Every structure is written in C-alpha cells, then in structure tokens.
Structure 1
Amino acid sequence: MGNPERDGAPAETAASIHEFYTASSWIEGAATEQLRQVANLPGVRQIAAFPDLHPGTFGPIGCAVLSERLYPQLIGNDIGCGMSLFALDLPRSKLRLDRAAQKLRVLESAWSGNAAGYLAEAGLPSDAFSEAIGSIGGGNHFCELQVIEEITDDAASGHDLAPQTLLLFVHSGSRGFGTHVFRSVVERFADGLEQGSTAANRYLDDHDRAVAWASLNRRIIALRAAVALRADIRTVVDSPHNVVERQGDLFLHRKGAAVATTPLVPLAGSRDSLSFLLKPTGCKPEALASLSHGSGRKYDRKSMLGRVGSTRSDRERLLRTSFGGRVICDDRQLLIEEAPDAYKNSAHVCDDLVSHGLATCVASLQPLITFKKATEPEGTESWKRQRKDHGRKWR
C-alpha cells in the first residue's frame, strides 16, 4: 500500500511492517489500521509490531518505528515509562502477605525523602517535579511484589535469581514531567520534526531528562517499598518502553515496546497472571532491537465498566487473585478498568515472541501483592500542586 498522493506527486511506497504475532494474540483491527497510518507518515522507513499491540491515542501501542523524522506522538506524554525489576533479600518463608500488603500502603502517600538530592544526583534540576518523585501514578502503573515461580533458562543464574526469590516489579513513568514536555510540542508534530532542527533538538534534550526522571522514579518507588518490608534491594533490570533514540540519521521510536539491548527484559502480565523474564536473542534486525513490554490490553477502559465489578461481591473478588495474592486499590473505577479480563494472555504473548525467535523465556514470575494508586480527585491540594507544576519549565 502506498502513501497518499501529495500535490499531484505519485504516492510513495509505505514503510514495511514486520508483524511478530499470531492469531492467539487478539490484535484489534483498529490497531492494525493505526499501524498502516504510521507506515504512511513522511519519512517512516520500517515498523516492528509485537503481540501486545493494541490501539492508542496517537498511534498503536506495542510497536517500534524507524523514521527519518522525529514524531513525539509516537512516544506520547509518558516519556520514559518503563518497567524495573528489583530482587529483595527477604526470604519467601518469612513473608506474611496480609502484613506485607498493609506495609505497602506507604506508597499511597507522597514521598518525604530527599527529592532534591536524588534529582541532583541523577543530573536533573533539584526542583524538577520534585513533589511527584517516588509516586506511581494511575492507569496501568503499579508496584507489585512477586516471587519467581520457575527458572527456565541458565541465564537466571548469572543474575543470582532462583526459584522463590522475591522481586519488586515497578511500572511507572515520568508523571507530570513527561506531560509537560509533550504539551510543548503537541501542536507542531503533524508531519514530524526535522533532524537537526531547533524543535527536534529541544524535544530530545527534554525527552532525555524525562527518561532519567522516570528511571529514578521507579528506583525510589522500589526503595520505599523495600524499606516498608524491611529488606534491601538490588536492580535486576531497568527497561523503558516509551522512548526515542537516535540511530545515525534516523530515529527509533518505541511506544509500549521494551528496549531489547539489555541482557534481560521483563514482560508484565495482568495482576492475576504470570509475568515473565525474557532474554533477547538479538537475531532479528527487523524487530528493531525491541520486544513486547507486557500482555497488552484486550478491552479498553470504558468497555470494562460493563464487564466486571457490577456488584459489591464482584469487586471484593477483584481484590484477590487465583494465586491467593492480594490487590491494593482503593479506586473503584480503576479496580474495574484494570481487571485481569482487560488484558491479553501473557503466556500467549511470551510464546509468540519465543516462536518468532525474538527471545528466550528465563523465568516465570507469580504476583503476590499488587499495589495501584487511587487517582487524585480534582480539586484536592495534591491535584492543584501537580497542575501548577505542569506549567513550569525544566530546561
């Protein structure tokens, strides 16, 4: 399929789309249509689409796009969003779920630590959205206590991972920082930003700071959880999936696609399914050094409100998992929108990646406690402070 004709000129050939999924991955027609639209953007060379693919606001989620031009909308507002995995030194035999669940409620409040010091150490302005650092955010973000269920590849031993090791799995991003950066270019990216332009360079500088902020945010969230559990942590992997990077004269955009140049990549399931730890093979250049970041949505948020949680008993069941785990979520709507039924089967996504030769499964991870932050109601003092911060410049 070619690009539409412009000013009477013949249509160009659309960018190639490499699909790394099977019919079991439940790919919506709206997502594949968005792929075609992206393939026809000026300067787009190549696209890799993964089994967690689903429709997004400005383009499909679960893909990597190589282009001559820079397209901020292909990254979105949550710049640097990613998933970080940390190993705990707490023995599984000493964990008491109900007690641990109560301790993790510390994440409901704002962090009172040395935000300025941590930001400065990361090379960021000491007041850069400092009130939000250490916070999870809403939507599909979470902090989850997990246990390694099974080791399936020798690569785990090189990272000192074994069955029954406890892990903290943190999914969060750049919060108001990324939103501010995105809003600064949202009116100007219809045809992308030209390589070397002032607008592109400014966006990239701000993007890199938001990515660093997001990575620091995940680490502080994990530190807060570990302190509450009276444990020490070590980083297993930090894996961003909303980022753009320069590749020579081209830009590689990843939207909901994990960077696969690290030894290990986490693949998140729903709160009632296994997550997986993957080892990228790196043998398929057309995959653009990327992998799925999670199972991907099967149903959008609005449609979930009529599918589950219609009664009080249904909602109470959503606070427990089939593994005997706990879910901490005091936001009724969020509890329903993020119900396990909203997501694809994570094992199918993992199998598709393995069958296409993109990764090897290293370990399966079972959820024990999933913490999701209730959304701040509009009008609260915390909400007003965040809105005020959105208007400040961090350059």
Structure 2
Amino acid sequence: MNEKDYIRTLKFQKGEAEIYADNELFSSFETSALKQLENVSSLPNIELPVKAMPDLHCGYGFPIGCVAAFDLNKEPIISPGGIGYDINCGVRFLKTDLEVKDIKGKESKILSELFSAVPCGAGKESKLKISFHDLKKILETGVDWVFEKQLGDFKNKDFLEVFEGQYQSVSKKALERGSRQLGTLGGGNHFLEIQKVEEIFDKEAADFLGLRKDLISVCIHTGSRGLGHQICCDWLEEMRKDSNKYRPPDSQLSYAPLNSLKGAGYFSAMNAAANFAAANREIISYQTAKVFEKIFGKSDGFSLITDISHNMAKIEKIKEKKFLIHRKGAACSYPYGSVSLPQKYQTFGFPVIVPGDMGRYSFLCKPLINCEKTFYSCPHGAGRAISRTKALKESKKRDIRKELAESGVFFKAENSDTLAEEMPYAYKDAQKIVSVTENAGLASKIAKLKPLAVIKG
C-alpha cells in the first residue's frame, strides 16, 4: 500500500474533505462527525479540502480531529467552534534521568505527592494566590511571567511560544475563573502520567533527544481551564448575534471575519487564553519536578522534549502564503524547515506526542515534510471509541482498577466516575492511529511509551 491508500476524499454539495484513515478507522467514524466535516467545508473562503485526522470524532461545531485553513488574502473568518472550549489544550512531554528500577516500589508515593502538589478535577482551585494584576500579565506575557516569578524552569523558554493576547478582550467572569485555576490539571481526559520508554523505533532520533529504553518520562495533558471555557462561551454568544447576517450552516459554527471587531476581539482573547494554558503546563511540570526532587533528591534530569497545542487558531506561512489555521483536536506538527523552530530542532523538527489511553501506550513521533499537506497537523491522540455515558455503563461489567494493576499501572483520581469514563477501552488503539499517520507520511515513530502511574481529575 502507498500513502494514497490512507487518504480518502469526500465530496459534498458545497465542499470537500480529505480524511486520513484506513478502512477500519473510516468505518468507525460517526455519521455526525462526517456531517460536521461537511458543514465546516461549506464555510466561506475556506481552503478545500478540509483535513480530518485518523482520530476524528464528533465535537462542538467542528468535529474533533479537524483542520481548517483560511487564506489571509481572502477575507478569512474565525470560528470559536473551530478551536473549542479548552483553548490551547495541549500535551507536554518531558524526560528524566531516572530508570524503571529507580522508581520501582515508589509509584504510590509519587502519585500521592503529585496529587497533593497538582490540584485535579473540574473546578478545582489552585494553591497559587495570584492578583488580577498578575493574571492580566499572564494573559499578555504567558510563560515569561512564570519565569519572572521563578515558578518554572527557565531553560524551557526557547521551546515555548508567547502569544499576542490582550486582557481587555477577556470578560470579568473569565478573569475570575482563571484567577483560581493556574497550576491545576482539570478533569475529564486531562492527566499527568509517569511513563517508561518501552520501545525505540528510531535510534538516531532517540539518541538526539536523549531517550533510551526503560527511561522514565512525564506526560502532561491540560489547557486553559475555566478561563478558556468562559472566553469561548462569551465570544460564541457575541457571534451568534450575527447569525442572521452570516447564516452559518450550523449555529455551533457561528463566526466573524477575522478583521472585524468581533473577529479580532476573539482572536486576542483566544491568544490570552493560550498564554494562560502555556503558563499552566509550565507550572505543573515545575511542580512535578519538585515532587521528584523531594522523593529522589534530584530533579536536574528533568528536560522538556515537546509542548504541543491541539486546540488553537494560528497564522502560519505555508508555501509563501499566510493562512489562519484552525486546529480542533489536531496537533501542531512542524517538520524541519517549516516554521521558525527552536535552535535545537531546526534540522530535526518539533517532536509530536500522540497520547493513548492510561492502560496501553502513547507514541512520540517525528513530523515529516509531507505533513505540509495537512497544514502542518497530526492527530492529537487516540480519540474516544465510546461515549462517557456508555463507558460508565460498560465499566459495571469489569474491574477497571484491577485490570490497570495487572498491567502495572497505578492510578489516582479526584472523581470516582473518572476511572470508568477514562477506562482504556473507551479509547481507540493509539497504535492504529499512529500507523495511519506513519503510512500517510505525516510523521514517523520515535518511541513507544507505557504508562506506569496516572493522576486524573
């Protein structure tokens, strides 16, 4: 089979979509997700075909796993539904200098300390007390504020982006929610996971990144918390007021021209939330390093490998043209030569982490030049196989905690339902998602990562 065997083109009455999937994955896609894809492809001035990742599933307005680009020279629009409620939700991957043998027997201790250091769960409040003045600075300077306050690891600075956000675009209600949640993980599918490098596929790439078999790594999945959610709510409400003027194909796809007052206002607020999310992940990883220092007497081996967003709209240049690219549940994937990269990755590309479920595995990948076809995007994870409601029902037939223990995974959550909702088989097999990604020429596997200890909200 060649690359084309993993790409399907769907032609609709008013648009077109390109889906990256094999037969098995394609047959598993919900009809509702494909309908959402059709609706997105009919938006004004959109670049066709719209791109869909192999982890495609139904979302709000845009399906999750969707990439939509708008040429900046053709009156681009911006739609909050194309970014989602958790603005700049993303995944951070760090390596340590510890090996499996070093943490054996200490997994429960690590979980307890992490659970204490990093508040988890929907609505959970931060241990950090920040003023509104500080919050406004965070919304405009992001991780720079974190480093200034010595709440992060300064050597990560070159790997992280500061977005052009303005706090004036953010409502008082959003500010109030954000003031209590910096440095918190959140609920749902957000997690902090201790992993081991189980298998190396690309030794040269692994050596470059300092990875080896049985090395301990850390993966963090979270975003902009209640602040980002409120920003999405606020601006959706504003844009819905113009629905009769613009007539979107679905009320969940309310939008505004990027250069309008509402479009520019939302873009600024979204970037402010992106700064909050970036600061949030940096603080959580710093707290995690302190836990490791407390238990093992050192944290100097903590090293950031990648921090990748999957819910954002960004202006990027592709083949000398500038686009506003909406990524909803699709990871930014920058191969060498694609965008301005940190010095370390200029000839390598920015590594992409594709998380799986908490019982099986995740994958670290290297983006390839071919992902220019997807506007520099890759899948952001395995994607749900069944709904949370169905997972809760299915969990009553099995002992999930016992299954995790038998596979060597320690688990701790704030909410008792989380274990059921997030059970491993509520998700598709990440191996299948990554296999399609690799066969389509978008990215290549560097390493397989196995979960050892997981905390969730």
**Same fold per TM (> 0.5)?**
yes
TM range (shorter): 0.7 to 0.9
Residues 173-226 of structure 1: CA deviation (Å, up to 9, x unaligned)? 001111121122112155421131111111111111111111111121122222
| CA-CA distance at 1:245 after TM superposition | 0.9
Find the residue that maps to 1:45 and give its secondary structure: coil
CA shift in 2, pair 1:358/1:315, >3 Å: closer
Match of residue 228 from structure 1: 291
| CA-CA distance at 1:76 after TM superposition | 1.2
Find the residue that maps to 1:144 and give its secondary structure: strand
Match of residue 10 from structure 1: none
Does residue 259 of structure 1 match 2:332? Answer: yes
Q: Distance in 2 between matches of 1:121 and 1:316?
A: 38
Equivalence map 1:98-177=2 (5 Å): 98-106=108-116, 107-108=118-119, 110-113=125-128, 115=130, 119=138, 122=143, 129-153=178-202, 154-177=204-227
Q: Distance in 2 between matches of 1:114 and 1:164?
A: 38
CA shift in 2, pair 1:336/1:2, >3 Å: closer
Find the residue that maps to 1:305 and give its secondary structure: helix
Does residue 323 of structure 1 match 2:407? Answer: yes
Task: Check the 8 A contact 1:195/1:249 in 2, yes or no.
Answer: no
CA shift in 2, pair 1:89/1:128, >3 Å: farther
Q: How many correspondences in the alignment? A: 360
Give, as a single letter, the amino acid of the residue that structure 1 aligns with 2:413: C
Task: Check the 8 A contact 1:69/1:250 in 2, yes or no.
Answer: no
Match of residue 448 from structure 2: 364
Task: Check the 8 A contact 1:18/1:287 in 2, yes or no.
Answer: no
CA shift in 2, pair 1:144/1:351, >3 Å: same
Give, as a single letter, the amino acid of the residue that structure 1 aligns with 2:92: S
CA shift in 2, pair 1:24/1:195, >3 Å: same
Match of 2:29 among 16, 23, 27: 27
Give, as a single letter, the amino acid of the residue that structure 2 aligns with 1:24: E
| CA-CA distance at 1:310 after TM superposition | 4.8
Q: Distance in 2 between matches of 1:284 and 1:249?
A: 16
Give, as a single letter, the amino acid of the residue that structure 2 aligns with 1:78: D
Task: Check the 8 A contact 2:371/2:377 in 1, yes or no.
Answer: no
CA shift in 2, pair 1:61/1:2, >3 Å: closer
| CA-CA distance at 1:100 after TM superposition | 1.9
| CA-CA distance at 1:321 after TM superposition | 4.5
Match of residue 314 from structure 2: 245
Does residue 41 of structure 1 match 2:43? Answer: yes
Q: Distance in 1 between matches of 2:312 and 2:207?
A: 29
Q: Distance in 2 between matches of 1:23 and 1:141?
A: 29
| CA-CA distance at 1:280 after TM superposition | 0.7
| CA-CA distance at 1:18 after TM superposition | 1.4
| CA-CA distance at 1:132 after TM superposition | 0.4
| CA-CA distance at 1:366 after TM superposition | 0.5
Match of residue 51 from structure 1: 54
Does residue 348 of structure 1 match 2:432? Answer: yes
Please say which of residues 175-184 and 186-195 is displaced more in the overlay. Answer: 186-195
CA shift in 2, pair 1:267/1:367, >3 Å: same
Q: Distance in 1 between matches of 2:286 and 2:372?
A: 36
Q: Specify which structure has the higher proportion of helix.
A: 2
Tell me the percent identity: 28
Give, as a single letter, the amino acid of the residue that structure 2 aligns with 1:317: K
Q: Distance in 2 between matches of 1:209 and 1:322?
A: 43
Q: Distance in 2 between matches of 1:289 and 1:76?
A: 19
Task: Check the 8 A contact 2:142/2:275 in 1, yes or no.
Answer: no
Give, as a single letter, the amino acid of the residue that structure 2 aligns with 1:241: H
CA shift in 2, pair 1:31/1:322, >3 Å: farther
| CA-CA distance at 1:315 after TM superposition | 4.7
Q: How large is the RMSD of aligned CA atoms in angstroms?
A: 2.3
Give, as a single letter, the amino acid of the residue that structure 2 aligns with 1:18: E
Task: Check the 8 A contact 2:29/2:57 in 1, yes or no.
Answer: yes
Find the residue that maps to 1:90 and give its secondary structure: strand
Match of residue 338 from structure 2: none
TM-score normalised over the length of structure 2: 0.74
Task: Check the 8 A contact 2:87/2:311 in 1, yes or no.
Answer: yes
Find the residue that maps to 1:317 and give its secondary structure: helix
Task: Check the 8 A contact 1:271/1:321 in 2, yes or no.
Answer: no
| CA-CA distance at 1:88 after TM superposition | 1.9
Give, as a single letter, the amino acid of the residue that structure 1 aligns with 2:38: R
CA shift in 2, pair 1:357/1:328, >3 Å: same
Give, as a single letter, the amino acid of the residue that structure 1 aligns with 2:228: G
CA shift in 2, pair 1:330/1:177, >3 Å: closer
Q: Distance in 1 between matches of 2:371 and 2:288?
A: 37
CA shift in 2, pair 1:330/1:245, >3 Å: closer
Q: Distance in 2 between matches of 1:235 and 1:60?
A: 30
Match of 1:194 among 251, 257, 262: 257
| CA-CA distance at 1:58 after TM superposition | 2.1
Q: Distance in 2 between matches of 1:315 and 1:309?
A: 9
Task: Check the 8 A contact 1:300/1:342 in 2, yes or no.
Answer: yes
Residues 333-360 of structure 1: CA deviation (Å, up to 9, x unaligned)? 2211111111000000010100111110
Q: Give ranges in structure 1 of 5+ residues lacking alignment.
A: 4-12, 374-395
Q: Distance in 2 between matches of 1:127 and 1:331?
A: 24
Find the residue that maps to 2:217 and give its secondary structure: strand
Match of residue 17 from structure 2: 17
CA shift in 2, pair 1:356/1:128, >3 Å: same
Task: Check the 8 A contact 1:267/1:295 in 2, yes or no.
Answer: yes
Match of residue 416 from structure 2: 332
Please say which of residues 160-169 and 356-365 is displaced more in the overlay. Answer: 160-169
Q: Distance in 2 between matches of 1:121 and 1:362?
A: 30
